[in-house]
Structure 1
Amino acid sequence: MGEETLPFIDVREITPRERHPKIFSMANGLAVGDSFVIINDHDPRPLHYQLQAEYPGQFSWTYLETGPEVWRVQLGRAEAA
C-alpha cells in the first residue's frame, strides 16, 4: 500500500490534550505490518519517545515530511504486543 492511500490522522484539527490518546488508540488497533500517517504542525518527537518508552520495539516511525510547516510521520506496527 502506498503512503498516499494510508489512513491518516491530522492532529492539527484535534484539541492538544486529545491528540496522544487518539493516536495511541489508532496505533493499538494496528495489525502487524499495518500503518497510518500522523500529520502535525510541529515535530511529534515527544510522541515518538512516549511510544518507545511504553511499547518498546512494537512500532516503526518513519518521517515522510519534516516541516517547517507540516510534519508527516508514518507510524507502523512492527510486532505484536
Structure 2
Amino acid sequence: MTHDCSNTISFDMRYPFDARGVAKRFRHAAIFGALDSLNAGETMRFLNDHDPLPLLAQLQQRYGDNIEISYVSREPGQIALDFKRV
C-alpha cells in the first residue's frame, strides 16, 4: 500500500490549522509550510489567539495574488481566517 500526501481528503477543500497549539518560535515556519502544501483552490482555516497582522503582511509579500485572505471570526482570543490558494 502506498501513501500520497498530496491527495485531498477534505470534501470542501478546507483544512484546519490551529496555531494556538504550535510553539511560537515555530509558528510562521509551520504556517508557510502548510500554505506551500495547498493546491490551487484549497483553503486553510487558520485559528489563532490574536489578530496576526504582521503575519498577514508577510503572506501578502510572499504569495501576492496567489492567496486570498478572509476573516471568519475576529472575536478576542478566537481569531479565524481562511487562507485560500488561488
Task: Give the alignment's TM-score, normalised by structure 2.
Answer: 0.80
Partners of 1:42 and 1:67 within 8 A in 2: no
The corresponding residue for 1:71 is 79
Query: How far apart in 1 are the matches of 2:82 and 2:62?
Result: 18
Consecutive unaligned residues of structure 2, counting only runs of 5 or more, are: 1-11
1:9 aligns with 2:23: no
Consecutive unaligned residues of structure 1, counting only runs of 5 or more, are: none
Secondary structure of the equivalent of 1:28? Answer: helix
CA RMSD of aligned residues (A): 1.3
1:26 aligns with 2:34: yes
Render the CA deviation track for 1:3-55: whole Å, top value 9, x for unaligned: xx831111111111101111101101111111111100000121110011122
Query: How far apart in 1 are the matches of 2:20 and 2:62?
Result: 24
1:51 aligns with 2:59: yes
Query: How far apart in 1 are the matches of 2:80 and 2:26?
Result: 18
Query: How far apart in 2 are the matches of 1:62 and 1:20?
Result: 18
Runs of 4+ residues deviating >4 angstroms: none
Query: How far apart in 1 are the matches of 2:77 and 2:49?
Result: 6
Structure with higher Rg: it is 2
Task: Give the alignment's TM-score, normalised by structure 1.
Answer: 0.85
Query: How far apart in 2 are the matches of 1:37 and 1:55?
Result: 17
